[in-house]
A and B are shown apart, each in its own frame.
Chain A
Amino acid sequence: MAASENGQRYVIVAADDDEDILSLVAFRLGRAGHEVVTARDGEEALGLVQSRAPDLVILDVRMPKMTGIDVVRALRQVEATKTVPVILLTASVQEESVKDGFDAGADDYIKKPFSPQELVTRVETILKRGKPGFPR
């Protein structure tokens, strides 16, 4: 597959219980040259982050087993995943869930519905800021 727009191929874990949204994210980021590993619930996402050590994580807020916010919280408690960038996807209009997300340690959030193009831009902006492990 082609290298990404800035020449680098990143590993991204994306999790959403909505199969269509998940495919959309995977397809568009894949086209941008990244390797996307998908999960359908929070627990699976957490396991994948631990086993794959991705460059970035995209989490839907409302998922079975563990919410996206629960997953961020869990990631931030472990040394190995303390600094991995996380973007939350939220369909909720309630401002509290956005605040909860940032409080838990998310780096950015994207409101549904989102433009796939916009998602790629946001992902690459965060990745360009610094490699994983960069002091936060």
Chain B
Amino acid sequence: MSESPFSPPQRSRLDPALLAAELRALRDREQLLETAVEYLRLLLESTDEGIVGVDREGRCTFANTAAQLLLGYDSGELVGQPFLELVCGSAAEGSAAPEDLFFRRADGTLFAAACSTDPIVVEGDIQGAVLVFSDEGASRRAQRYLETQRAVTQALADSSTAEEAIPRILEALGETMGWAEFGVFWAVDDQETLRCRSRWVLPAAEQEFSEFAELSGTLVLRRGVGLAGCAYEVGQPTWLTTGEALSNRRAFRRAETGNELGLRCGVAFPIVAGADVLAVIEFFGRELDAPDEELLAMMDSLGASIGHYLERKRAESEADRLKDEFISLVSHELRTPLSSVLGYLELLEREEVGPLTADQRRCIATIGRNANRLLRLVGDLLLTARLEAGDVPLELEAVSLAALGADALENARPQASAKRIELRLEISGEPVVHGDRGRLAQVLDNLLSNAVKFTDEGGCATVRVSARARRAVIEVADTGLGIPCEDGEQLFRPFFRTASARALAIQGSGLGLAISRALVEAHGGSISCKSAEGAGATFRVELPLAAQALSLAAVDVKAAEHGR
């Protein structure tokens, strides 16, 4: 063995130099020891697990800070205590498996602990034991709260409106928290009161809670009144424990029924958006004693995320309402005056109010042309808005594209002849589609009127309709200005106009192609454009052939016949 600082000095006591050297060595070792002890303390304090040493009699000889916190003791209180008295078997009878070990806190309450023990052996003698333990319930609760948060997030993601989301939020919370039997979603209304908007009862407890649920449904809580009213007032999670507290709470009108049910705990937390409380969610149960820190923290964060969701939905529905209002305004307020303009013009034109001079007739024709242009623009704006809202029902029937093409040529003829543009129709096969005749005609009119608009005098515009293997194809080709490549993708966006259209002041709102694409896509088809600047443009529409729809119908008929 090496020389110990405590071993008696072997050399002469009288040698002062030797004495000084020995003292120095002693101080160095003391310092080394201090460092080692400090390091060990740091190790023991840096873990969340409780570490306790006990002697052979089971008295506590050492406890780290985590152990004191878990057991609810102040610093130093544990040392000397008969520690094994704090450890008991399962609270449930008959089971004492190690994983069901319970520890008793200073306040007498129990918690389930995960615990391991090892003997301390010195030179073959058992001197005591070391216990390492953690609060297993807490980690299980943390796990559960994580699930709760996930369930609520899922409920929000699955709901497109607040109306759908609210019952789902209550259900997700109630079922995952693990102790709740009854929940209420209170909405804050204008008069600073809370009204029940949705209720949730644990399916197994439905019968028992029917009266309590009914009572909650009819209550109107003022700010500060009742559990939910308190959460509303303080803007933070609030809780009540034990039946006594339930009945003592200021004007808790459900106290009697709550006590009869044996409710021991209620938690309420506000749903907040910025500084505003939008709603309060409240839960009651018969099992939990007091909400823990994690539950309150979870409610804080859920309150904010649900609030954010509700606020966003409110803004969305407000935007939808404004859009509907706008559509209705355009529809009514713009069309009504136009109706007067066009109606009175007709009276003039038909000379129902007197004969016209040639000049007057020309003026009236100009007014009429422009009024009609305005009317078309109003119609296009409305149709764009409705297509965006998915609010354009199609009346489906068999439509011959050849007939549609011929009609489109007739409609375009006045503008075409004014510019001496030749119109051609080429038909191959018998293209018939299953579609809305009026809407498809609108697409073809749009494409052909563009072709005429963007083609110089003396040019040519061609409509080709054909039936391919499975698709009906419409092509509208012109010999006009063409479209620069870089505009290709933009063409079908609402309000987009090419530079040449603007430069040459060619009339148009930029809505025609956007509408055409939406209508073609509503028919299950596609639209594209091929062009080069200066070399004309060809718009191509592909639609499913009606034959497919018909053969499907035939299969249905056969199936029905077999079924008889």
Given contacts A21-B339, A91-B335, A113-B338, contact A27 B382 (CB under 8 A): no
Tell me the complex Cα distance, A94–B375, Å.
16
Q: Which residue on chain B has the smallest CB distance to residue A113?
A: B339
Looking at chain B's contact residues, the main secondary structure is helix
- Interface stretch among A7-15, A43-51, A68-76, A114-122? A114-122
- Interface contact B331-A116, CB-CB below 8 Å: no
Interface string of A63-98 (1 = CB under 8 A from B): 000000000000000000000000000011111000
Chain A residues, CB < 8 A from B337: 20
Assess whether A52 is interfacial by the CB under 8 Å rule.
no
Given contacts A21-B336, A112-B336, A113-B338, contact A93 B343 (CB under 8 A): no
Tell me the complex Cα distance, A8–B335, Å.
33
Interface string of A1-34 (1 = CB under 8 A from B): 0000000000000000010110010011001000
- Distance from A26 Cβ to chain B, minimum over Cβ atoms (Å): 12
User: Which of B343, B347, B350, B393 is A113 in contact with, Cβ under 8 Å?
Assistant: B343
Q: Which residue on chain A has the smallest CB distance to residue B372?
A: A113
User: Which of B336, B338, B352, B393 is A31 in contact with, Cβ under 8 Å?
Assistant: B352
Interface string of B315-350 (1 = CB under 8 A from A): 000000000000010011001111111111011001
- Interface contact A28-B331, CB-CB below 8 Å: no
Interface residues of B in 354-384 (CB under 8 A from A): 375, 379, 382
Interface string of A94-115 (1 = CB under 8 A from B): 1100000000000000001111
Given contacts A91-B335, A93-B331, contact A20 B340 (CB under 8 A): yes
- Distance from A73 Cβ to chain B, minimum over Cβ atoms (Å): 21
Tell me the complex Cα distance, A91–B328, Å.
10
- Distance from A65 Cβ to chain B, minimum over Cβ atoms (Å): 17
Tell me the complex Cα distance, A113–B341, Å.
9
User: Which of A21, A94, A117 is B340 in contact with, Cβ under 8 Å?
Assistant: A21
User: Which of B328, B347, B350, B375 is A24 in contact with, Cβ under 8 Å?
Assistant: B347
- Interface contact A114-B350, CB-CB below 8 Å: no
- Interface contact A117-B350, CB-CB below 8 Å: yes
Chain B residues, CB < 8 A from A24: 340, 343-344, 347
Q: Which residue on chain A has the smallest CB distance to residue B340?
A: A20
User: Which of A94, A95, A114 is B343 in contact with, Cβ under 8 Å?
Assistant: A114
Given contacts A24-B347, A113-B375, A117-B346, contact A92 B332 (CB under 8 A): yes
- Interface contact A91-B346, CB-CB below 8 Å: no
Most buried by B among A21, A27, A92, A93: A93
- Interface contact B382-A93, CB-CB below 8 Å: yes
User: Which of B343, B375, B379, B386 is A116 in contact with, Cβ under 8 Å?
Assistant: B343
Tell me the complex Cα distance, A112–B328, Å.
14
Chain A residues, CB < 8 A from B393: 95
- Interface contact B350-A91, CB-CB below 8 Å: no
Tell me the complex Cα distance, A95–B436, Å.
15
- Interface contact B335-A113, CB-CB below 8 Å: yes
Q: Which residue on chain B has the smallest CB distance to residue A25?
A: B343
Most buried by B among A31, A113, A115: A113
Chain A residues, CB < 8 A from B338: 113
Q: Which residue on chain A has the smallest CB distance to residue B338?
A: A113
- Distance from B335 Cβ to chain A, minimum over Cβ atoms (Å): 5
- Interface contact A94-B336, CB-CB below 8 Å: no
Chain A residues, CB < 8 A from B375: 113
Tell me the complex Cα distance, A94–B393, Å.
10
Chain B residues, CB < 8 A from A27: 347
Tell me the complex Cα distance, A31–B335, Å.
25
Chain B residues, CB < 8 A from A94: 331
Interface string of B97-133 (1 = CB under 8 A from A): 0000000000000000000000000000000000000
> What are some 27 contacts across the A-B interface (CB < 8 A)?
A18-B336, A18-B339, A20-B340, A20-B344, A21-B340, A21-B343, A24-B340, A24-B343, A24-B344, A28-B347, A28-B352, A62-B332, A91-B335, A91-B339, A92-B328, A92-B331, A93-B331, A93-B379, A93-B386, A94-B331, A113-B343, A113-B375, A114-B339, A115-B346, A116-B343, A116-B347, A117-B346
> Which 6 A-B pairs rank lowest in CB-CB distance, beginning with the nearest?
A113-B339, A20-B340, A112-B339, A113-B342, A91-B335, A24-B343
B residues in contact (CB < 8 Å) with A = 328, 331-332, 335-344, 346-347, 350, 352, 375, 379, 382, 386, 393
